[in-house]
């Protein structure tokens, strides 16, 4: 099996997370960082090579093996440094794939989109976490019944995470009966998170109250499926956003242009940032103050709010303000959380969705490093599971086989198949054809098996 040679510049949270996942998957990883402390931390815990130094210096890149690297990933904390690293990797070392994190809206402004072309600043894949986070919050707000929404197959297939609560009419029903009861709904339950353990369900399994379930469905059936599962919440129109930095303003702008008759208020503690946001936004109202101030929340109309989104750069403020917002009547609260150690607080604090920017960034980088015909991949639940879209090509061992005859590991579940323009719900009898695109759910241990099932003929060499 070919091991990719990957250089990562930046050993912060994101650099660490990528190095961890890529080294577990047996790639050859070298990490460069200026900080001895971050390098020591990596050496203690991960099986990677480390170099202390500045990743934008050609000599440092040379020592890291840039001459025959397959991929360079620039995730230092400065956009400018990431741009220089990618440019030098291209000009001097000709590294084929350059991935750079660019966070500032100033560089991402569509008026300057020719900035990042091969001739100018050669970054093949730009990762902008702020934009991705705002997009995922936008989906959460427009579909309040789901805590996770990812689209695949030209948006024809959707992957949803849904909470099963007291409104769910089909609790304690085996999945097989659900399929019989709703034959027209193209939908497969691919995973159940029960008491913090992930179960890959069979047809005999039942849904229980307080389960978080993962399902793959035809995108046109989403609202019908959500209502069967007891979620009939209306789309949000009154929204309060705590934090008016990059993510907050980008989100408010997207909402202004995507949702009709919307009413948005932003709360921002820093007066300069508040004034800048007020200038940039057309319809939204920006309030200068603290989002845990109950009087200010009351003034902003928290009691009638459909969604309260806490995206300041302080985890504690986000968590506390979300709890206060729910207590004061907000229908839904979403909170940004940098620190993984608090993930288990979500259900206890009654917060509807936690958004982890690090997971978002790591996931979007890993997506570009998949082998075989894997078109898209998202890692979830601290990297323990992945949902992916893979294409069946001429060398795949799956062609012409029924799913039940194919050698598919137990902790992997096919959710839906896109064949030409049709979305198909797979069962044991389904015969796989060349060019089928399959959306599947897998525990991370089986990712290697997935890559084998969808390998292309040149991967044999």
Predicted confidence at residue 191, as pLDDT, reads 96
Predicted confidence at residue 349, as pLDDT, reads 81
pTM: 0.77
Predicted confidence at residue 456, as pLDDT, reads 67
Per-residue model confidence as pLDDT tens digits over 19-69: 998 888 788 999 999 999 999 999 999 999 999 999 999 999 999 999 999
Residue 163 tokens, joined: 């909470």
Q: What are phi and psi of 362, to 5 degrees?
A: -60, -45
Kindly report which listed range (2-11, 353-362, 396-405) carries the lowest average pLDDT score. 353-362
What is d(CA 371, CA 147) in angstroms, rounded to the nearest whole number?
29
What is d(CA 375, CA 301) in angstroms, rounded to the nearest whole number?
44
Q: Is 218 helix (H, G, I), strand (E, B) or coil?
A: strand
Q: Which of 403, 176, 386 is nearest to 189 (CA)?
A: 176
b/e 266-286 (16+ beta carbons within 10 angstroms → b): bbbbeeebbebbbeebeebeb
What is d(CA 206, CA 215) in angstroms, rounded to the nearest whole number?
14
By residue count, the chain amounts to 461
Range 433-442 average pLDDT: 94
Per-residue model confidence as pLDDT tens digits over 33-43: 999 999 999 99
| Cβ atoms of residues 390 and 449 within 8 Å | no
Place of tokens 């940032």: 273
Tell me the helices (H) and strands (E) count for the chain, helix number first: 15, 22
Type and span of the H or E element at 66: none
**pLDDT tops 90 at residue 132:** no
What is d(CA 212, CA 161) in angstroms, rounded to the nearest whole number?
7
Residue 30 tokens, joined: 């070298």
Per-residue model confidence as pLDDT tens digits over 74-131: 999 999 999 999 999 999 999 999 999 998 877 887 788 788 887 888 999 899 888 8
* Torsional sign, CA 226, 231, 351, 77: positive
| Cβ atoms of residues 253 and 244 within 8 Å | no
Residue 342 tokens, joined: 């608090």
**pLDDT tops 60 at residue 1:** no
């Amino acid at each position: 099996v070919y091991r990719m040679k990957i250089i990562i510049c930046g050993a912060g949270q994101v650099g660490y997370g990528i190095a961890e996942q890529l080294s577990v998957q047996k790639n050859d990883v070298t990490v460069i960082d200026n900080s001895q402390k971050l390098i020591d931390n990596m050496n203690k815990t991960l099986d990677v090579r480390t170099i202390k130094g500045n990743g934008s210096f050609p000599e440092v890149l040379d020592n890291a093996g840039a001459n025959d690297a397959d991929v360079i990933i620039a995730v230092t904390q400065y956009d400018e440094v990431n741009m220089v690293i990618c440019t030098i990797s291209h000009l001097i070392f000709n590294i084929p794939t350059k991935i750079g994190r660019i966070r500032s809206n100033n560089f991402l402004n569509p008026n300057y989109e020719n900035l990042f072309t091969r001739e100018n600043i050669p970054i093949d894949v730009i990762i902008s976490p702020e934009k991705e986070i705002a997009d995922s919050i936008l989906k959460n707000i427009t579909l309040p019944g789901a805590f996770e929404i990812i689209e695949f197959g030209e948006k024809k297939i959707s992957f949803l995470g849904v909470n099963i609560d007291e409104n769910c009419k089909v609790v304690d029903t085996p999945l097989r009966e659900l399929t019989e009861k709703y034959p027209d709904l193209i939908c497969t339950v691919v995973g159940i998170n029960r008491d913090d353990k992930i179960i890959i369900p069979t047809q005999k399994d039942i849904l229980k109250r307080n389960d978080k379930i993962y399902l793959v469905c035809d995108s046109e059936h989403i609202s019908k499926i959500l209502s069967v599962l007891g979620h009939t919440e209306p789309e949000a129109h009154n929204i309060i956003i705590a934090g008016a930095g990059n993510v907050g303003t980008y989100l408010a702008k997207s909402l202004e242009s995507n949702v009709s008759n919307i009413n948005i208020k932003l709360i921002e503690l820093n007066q300069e940032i508040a004034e800048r946001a007020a200038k940039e936004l057309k319809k939204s109202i920006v309030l200068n103050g603290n989002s845990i101030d109950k009087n200010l929340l009351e003034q902003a109309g928290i009691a009638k709010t459909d969604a309260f989104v806490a995206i300041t750069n302080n985890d504690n403020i986000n968590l506390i303000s979300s709890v206060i917002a729910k207590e004061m009547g907000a229908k839904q609260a979403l909170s940004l959380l940098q620190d993984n150690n608090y993930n288990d607080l979500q259900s206890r604090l009654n917060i509807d969705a936690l958004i982890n920017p690090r997971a978002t960034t790591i996931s979007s980088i890993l997506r570009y490093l998949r082998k075989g015909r894997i078109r898209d991949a998202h890692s979830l639940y601290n990297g323990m599971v992945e949902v992916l879209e893979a294409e069946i090509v001429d060398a795949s061992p799956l062609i012409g086989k029924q799913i039940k005859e194919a050698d598919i590991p137990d902790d992997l579940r096919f959710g839906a198949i896109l064949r030409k323009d049709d979305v198909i719900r797979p069962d044991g009898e389904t015969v796989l054809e060349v060019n089928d695109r399959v959306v599947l759910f897998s525990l991370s241990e089986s990712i290697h098996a997935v890559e084998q099932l969808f390998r292309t003929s040149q991967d044999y060499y």
